[in-house]
Structure 1
Amino acid sequence: MFVGTGSDVGKSVLNAAFCRIFMQDGYSPAPFKAQNMALNSFVTPDGLEIGRAQAVQAEACGIPCSVEMNPVLLKPSGDMVSQVVLNGKPAGNKSASKYFLETNRDALFAEVMKSYHRLAERYNPIVIEGAGSISEMNLWDKDITNMRVAEAADAATILVADIDRGGVFASVYGSIQLLPPNQRKLIKGVLINKFRGDESLFHEGRRMLEEISGVPVLGVIPWFRDIFIEQEDSVVLDHLKNQPQKGKINIAVVRLKHMANFTDFDSLRHVPEVNLYYAESEDALTAADIIILPGSKNTIADMEMLRHRGLESVLMRLHQNGKPIYGICGGFQMMGKIIQDPDGVEGNVSQTKGLGILPVETVFKGKKKTEQCRFEFLNDDNVKGSGYEIHMGVTKVDGNPLCRLNNGENDGCFLNEKTWGTYIHGVFDNASVIREILRQVNPDIEINFSLRDLKEEGFNKLAGLVREKVDLERIYGFIRK
């Protein structure tokens, strides 16, 4: 099990690394995270919703993802409210206080451990990921995802610390010493992550850290940017370049407060001819060749935010001037005439006007649609691929649909080649769709791109780096006992 001294220390990525290493070495691993809080989610083959990180880790294991890998998912829809997804299905919206103080934590923990045991019957080893920091003492009695899981699974637990943020000695020592003795003994080692510079300069520090913590430092992982692994947390967006570049096709994704599934744009980021950035200003949108409105966990709130910032009129002006604008899920809904939420599915605002670019109207319903799909554009049967849907809105289209799904249903709305919207997440993971939108800027462009190959290369490079920097013999010693 990988636990952390804090959030964003790299647990998810290291979990994926060991999933791939164990698979390469002939084992049958599977990931597990009891509770995940993220707006990046994915749909399992049987139509259930889990955190994107566990879907990525399942890919690293070479297996299909399943709901047992992440039985509880919290999707924030506001500053104090999250949608609770239990065993892949929505279980209502709850405030933080209600979720932590009024939920039967023992019953919830029993439920997540059922998922763990179902996984453990089919796979070995189970590679468990904790959440945030293990030293939040005020949350220990409510814990269903950190050391309580480690105890129940009797997991060899490895503490991950981010040296780049500073304070690594205090965070490692404090995290271990604050634990009750019965949990402290489960910590078998420490991994130092995101190290920059000459590792030999940390040899003395490594020795000192082992001395004060009482556990070995199992490895020092360098900071890297040249390995592609899909990220779970939108905090990664803060590290991306957010400006147009000359000589590239500039694609601006409108940055929304409640943006969901930002991994929809990972493929575009890795097309050599493309510079993708996240835009929050009129200048950044105006400089783009293509604009994309992404998904949102609170579409009405984000539409009103665009209006408040003055970006609604900017988007309308750019559309009228012929700039390509595409919408994904919540972005598709925002491109329509009106968005209604009479039952308060997303929040307290019952309706708002959309941009009015597409002839569609959306009403939120209590039932969430979660399906994987294959599609084919109706205006061009050479544009096709696969993706997945996650939405609670039902959209009436008074115009042409964008594509036909493999189940016979239509999806989205097509105004013209430069203006359309779809409910399909992952639509830009398909080379034919990328080629279609880029040809609106450069008609002669050709695309040779495979997301699957990019992912496999990333998993293997990451596994190779971790093998080089970590004491694998000791880690195998833990799991063979």
Structure 2
Amino acid sequence: MQALKHPLMIVGTGSDVGKSVLATGFCRIFLQDGYRPVPFKAQNMSLNSYVTADGGEMGRAQAVQAEACRLECHTDMNPVLLKPGSDKQSQVIVNGKVLGNYSAGSYFRGEIKGWLFEEVMKAFKRLQSQYNPVVIEGAGSIAELNLKNNDIVNMRMATAVNAATILVADIERGGVFASVYGSIKLLSPEERKCIKGIIINKFRGDISLFDEGKKIIEELTGVPVLGVVPAFRHIRIEEEDSVSLARKAFAAVEDKINVAVILLRRLSNFTDFNRLEQEEKVNLFYTNNVEEIRKADLIILPGSKSTIADLNELRSNGVADEIVRQAREGKSIVGICGGYQMMGRTIRDPHHIESALEQLPGLNLLPVETTIGPEKATVRTVFKFKYFDELCHGYEIHMGRTRLDDDAQPLNRLEKGGAEGCCLNQRIWGTYMHGILDNPVVIEDLLSPFVAGKTAAQNYDAFKQQQYDLLADHLRKYVDMDTLYKIME
């Protein structure tokens, strides 16, 4: 098969317009059509991250896109990852390893951007030498004029690699004509030449009603509209942005197993709960409302990029006291990563990694103590959960080290020896293991007090692969793939 001359780049008029999902769908289409695609995003800003086989950390969205390509993920797919720890500071991860914490002002003023772009281009060229096509994802809006001089992820990337660039706009938000026209007109002439097509995303209703709209956009911009893609509910693809949490449920309902995930300000890896959401009998919702927490059958404390700050906030808004009260009343309480740390007796931060505080009392639900240190653990793990013999898979991403009391019961037995997590009883446990809820044996045990028998969707990997095929079918139906291929050739 003839190689495609240009990489494909998906950019947007703003954040959460659907770039990640569309890039995932195109990855699967190229794979189905006999190519060897690979995902790439120069710089990702997200608290959803993943761990590669060799222990590198990268954005979860590119790991999902790698799954759609049926590839093992690698940090070259996302060489720069920003993990915000506060509104003004982020941890910067380069080629899978922590470079350090940078203020937003320092980072976006471009003090290290020249060197970062060199690393970005090296990663891209390594991928391009092995795969075709490279499917590149941009970030946010392409028309943030105050940030363009130090851009390493949008149009600077597009022009550097001569990408066939497709602009995506979210019609659900309104103002689609202004956002498309304005975004293109604010580009330089060189950047404008890269824009080869437009996709109108998340359309609801009769698509034929937008026929005139397509013509207007094409006349205004001189760029063809390659497709109008309807919004969908029948396909489940992991979403990158925490903005998508706004579309999640936020309240308990009757006749379901109500699972409350505590809504933290710096909640990380909310993809941990996607598998549990697929259970027909489960209503999983996000909340920091004490009334809704009381209605829950099961409470989950999720991961956090700023465990101490989030725990302080839970104390101030009454959620911490309510979780402890519900534990005493017999509710099931689970903590993952930062949530696990919160469930212990004490969190110490002697090096002030997260806070000016050196010590903070935890919820005292587990006989453990955590010390936050400068070294970050990033590792994939195979383990056995509780007393079960099935092999489970997960991954760890954390700065802290947690010590159990001598007589405390670990939760997981590691395949390589040793133990992890802490299990107080059948109802209350904590772990550093992201992805633990993707394992059927864990889901079955978690839901056993509420429902008997096996759970649905036993093979979650097979389920996800099916979703990628459904997404590809959806895009083929509404995007002019023949023209897209011609653009790339």
TM over 0.5: yes
- From 367, 377, 384, give the equivalent of 1:376: 384
Does residue 401 of structure 2 align to residue 394 of structure 1? yes
- The answer for the alignment partner of 2:484 in structure 1 is 475
> Aligned residue for 1:293?
301
4+ runs deviating over 3 angstroms: none
Asked if 1:212 is matched to 2:246, the reply is no
In structure 2, what is the equivalent of residue 49 of structure 1?
57
What do residues 391-439 of structure 1 show as CA deviations (whole Å, max 9, x unaligned)?
0100011111111112212100111110110000000001100000101
Query: Where does residue 433 of structure 2 map in the other structure?
Result: 424
Q: Distance in 1 between matches of 2:482 and 2:86?
A: 45
- 1:460 corresponding residue in structure 2: 469
Residues of 2 paired with 1:58 and 1:331: CA distance? 28
What secondary structure, in the 3-state scheme, does the structure 2 residue paired with 1:416 have?
A: coil
Query: Which one of the candidate residues 194, 198, 201 is aligned to 2:206?
Result: 198
Percent identical residues:
54
Work out whether residues 383 and 436 of structure 1, in 8 Å CA contact, stay in contact via their aligned partners in 2. Answer: no
Residues 383 and 433 in structure 1, CA contact (< 8 A), matched pair in contact too: no
Task: Using the TM superposition, give the Cα deviation of residue 214 of structure 1 relative to its aligned residue in structure 2, in angstroms.
Answer: 0.5
The match for 1:101 is 109
Superposed counterparts of 1:124-135, under 5 Å: 124-135=132-143
Alpha-carbon distance in structure 1 between the residues aligned to 2:79 and 2:21: 20
| Structure 1 residue aligned with 2:392 | 385
Deviations 1:105-163 (A, max 9, x none): 22111111100000111110000000000111111110000011111111010000011
Could you give the per-residue CA deviations for residues 449-474 of structure 1, whole angstroms, max 9, x where no partner exists?
Answer: 22112211211111001001011011
What residue is the counterpart of 2:17 in the other structure?
9
For the 8 Å contact 1:42–1:49, the answer to whether it is kept is: yes
Distance (Å, rounded) in 1 between the aligned partners of 2:388 and 2:448: 16
Amino acid at match of 1:405: L
Alignment partners' CA distance in 2, 1:126 and 1:199: 30
1:279 is displaced (CA, Å) by 1.8
Across the two proteins, how many residue pairs are aligned to each other? Answer: 478
Shift of 1:383: 5.4
Shift of 1:440: 2.3
Amino acid at match of 1:372: R
* SS of equivalent residue, structure 1 residue 185: helix
2:47 pairs with 39, 46, 55, which one? 39
The residue correspondences of 1:89-168 to structure 2 (distance < 5 A) are 89-101=97-109, 103-168=111-176
Code of the aligned partner of 2:65 = Q
Correspondence for 2:178 among 131, 155, 170: 170
RMSD: 1.0
How much does 1:103 deviate?
2.0
Shift of 1:102: 5.2
Q: Which one-letter code corresponds to 2:333 in the other structure?
A: I
- CA distance in 1 between partners of 2:171 and 2:88 (Å): 30
5+ residue gaps, structure 1: none
Equivalent position to 1:414, from 423, 432, 439? 423
Contact 1:417–1:440, Cα closer than 8 Å, also in 2: no
Assess if the C-alpha contact under 8 Å between 1:192 and 1:219 holds in 2: yes
Q: Given that residues 228 and 454 in structure 1 are in contact (C-alpha distance below 8 angstroms), is that contact kept between their aligned partners in structure 2?
A: no
Q: Is the 8 A contact 1:36 1:72 kept in 2?
A: yes
Q: Superposition pairs for residues 267-282 of structure 1, below 5 Å?
A: 267-282=275-290
Q: Quick one: distance in 1 between partners of 2:239 and 2:171?
A: 19
The 1-side partners of 2:89 and 2:395 are apart by: 25
Normalised by the size of structure 1, how large is the TM-score?
0.98
What's the CA shift for 1:218? 0.3
1:237 equivalent in alignment to 2:245 = yes
Q: 1:155, 1:440 → 2: CA distance?
A: 53
